[in-house]
């Protein structure tokens, strides 16, 4: 029989309204593990797996994936780790598999790329399910636009889970959540009851909301100017996630800006995931923004 589905590991155990959002680390490379003390965070909120592999042969090796995921879980010592499926295409390249192509920002990237390359997706899914048997691991799908993409990826995981079971390989179906970084998804979270959790990617969400490339300094002021639109959408996202009873966190660069911590806390996010170098600044800002903190701080 197929392996049992693991309970949601991230971050359902946290109590947002009372204690404020949990604080999670964002990891791009294994070297980032040296930048923080796992004892001082609630877990890892985002692993950008596309940066863990330097060339196609690595990314096509199930054993290589598994070795890296094992190391991440071991380093976190039992705390939850949320890994994102390869977000290839667009600005993110992996030599031999996907070349960097700014035009693909509106094309085959993220989950679209993976569904177009199911052999690659199956390798990563198998390794993630084998790792999920070893610790609290959740999986995020990048660039989801419509529910059919989540349904197709969930089916792919279930097929590989059944295959692993037939092969006698220990594995577990992890909770599958989606990145909320495409406006169409952000406005329709109620159509995603199959998602175990949500994580907002404000870097891409802002790029698509303001029609302003995230890496083009000439249009950077538009992203600042569109902040009102962004916060209205964040409010809608948090309310929709609450209505569905699903945890919602924020893992875009906005989470790492201490001056935004008070507003993000007030919106009711369950977790913020930030690069190791920003963890302490965001922690201090969240503490300053707590309802019972002394006036004049945060
Ligand atoms: C985002 O888009 O905000 C995000 C967290 O993903 P990435 O920066 O890797 O595109
Ligand atoms: Mg993104």
Give the ligand with the smallest distance to the CA of 223: 1
pTM over 0.90: yes
Give the ligand with the smallest distance to the CA of 92: 1
Q: Which of 91, 92, 181, 209 is the best mutation target for the ligand 1 pocket, counting ligand atoms within 8 Å of the beta carbon and taking the most?
A: 181
Q: What is the dihedral of CA 69, 248, 260, 15, to 10 degrees?
A: -100
Across 60-70, b (16+ Cβ under 10 Å) vs e yields beeebbbebbe
List the beta bridge partners of residue 176: 139
Ligand 1 nearest atom to the CA of residue 199, by list position: 5
List the beta bridge partners of residue 139: 83, 176
Which ipTM was obtained for this model? 0.99
Q: Nearest-CA neighbor of 51 among 96, 98, 97, 86?
A: 86
Q: Which of 213, 252, 253 is the best mutation target for the ligand 1 pocket, counting ligand atoms within 8 Å of the beta carbon and taking the most?
A: 252
Give the ligand with the smallest distance to the CA of 253: 1
Across 26-47, b (16+ Cβ under 10 Å) vs e yields bbeeeebbeebebeebbbbbbb
CA of 142 to the centre of ligand 2 (A): 7
Pocket lining for ligand 1, CB < 6 angstroms: 48, 87, 181, 201-204, 251-252
**Cβ count near 275 (within 10 Å):** 18
Rounded to the nearest 5 degrees, what angle is found at the Cα of 144, between the Cα atoms of 153 and 148? 50
Give the pLDDT score at 11. 43
pLDDT in tens, 128-157: 999 999 999 999 999 999 999 999 999 999
Q: What is the pLDDT along the chain (298 residues), one digit of tens a residue?
A: 555 555 444 444 333 445 799 999 999 999 999 999 999 999 999 999 999 999 899 999 999 999 999 999 999 999 999 999 999 987 777 888 887 777 789 999 999 999 999 999 999 999 999 999 999 999 999 999 999 999 999 999 999 999 999 999 999 999 999 999 999 999 999 999 999 999 999 999 999 999 999 989 999 999 889 999 999 999 999 999 999 999 999 999 999 999 999 999 999 999 999 999 999 999 999 999 888 776 554 3
């Amino acid at each position: 029989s197929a392996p049992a589905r693991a309970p949601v590991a991230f971050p359902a155990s946290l109590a947002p309204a009372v204690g404020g959002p949990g604080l999670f680390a964002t990891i791009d490379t294994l070297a980032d593990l040296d930048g923080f003390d796992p004892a001082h965070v609630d877990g890892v909120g985002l692993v950008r797996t596309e940066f863990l592999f330097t060339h196609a042969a690595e990314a096509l090796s199930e054993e290589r994936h598994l070795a890296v995921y094992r190391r991440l879980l071991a380093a976190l010592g039992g705390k939850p780790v949320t890994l994102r499926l390869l977000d290839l295409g667009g600005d993110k390249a992996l030599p031999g598999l996907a070349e960097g192509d700014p035009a693909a920002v509106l094309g085959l990237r993220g989950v679209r790329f993976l569904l177009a390359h199911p052999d690659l997706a199956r390798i990563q899914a198998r390794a993630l399910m084998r790792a999920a048997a070893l610790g609290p691991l959740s999986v995020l799908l990048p660039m989801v636009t419509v529910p059919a993409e989540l349904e197709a990826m969930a089916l792919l995981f279930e097929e590989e889970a059944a295959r692993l079971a037939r092969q006698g390989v220990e594995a577990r179906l992890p909770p599958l959540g989606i990145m909320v970084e495409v406006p169409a998804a952000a406005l329709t979270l109620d159509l995603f009851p199959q998602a175990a959790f949500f994580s907002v990617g404000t870097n891409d969400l802002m790029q698509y909301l303001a029609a302003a490339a995230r890496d083009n300094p000439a249009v950077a002021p538009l992203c600042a100017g569109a902040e009102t639109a962004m916060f209205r959408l964040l409010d809608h996202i948090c309310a929709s996630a609450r209505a569905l009873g699903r945890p919602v966190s924020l893992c875009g660069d906005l989470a790492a800006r201490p001056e935004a911590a008070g507003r993000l806390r007030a919106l009711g996010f369950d977790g913020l995931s930030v690069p190791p170098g920003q963890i302490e600044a965001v922690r201090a800002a969240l503490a300053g923004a707590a309802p019972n903190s002394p006036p004049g701080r945060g």
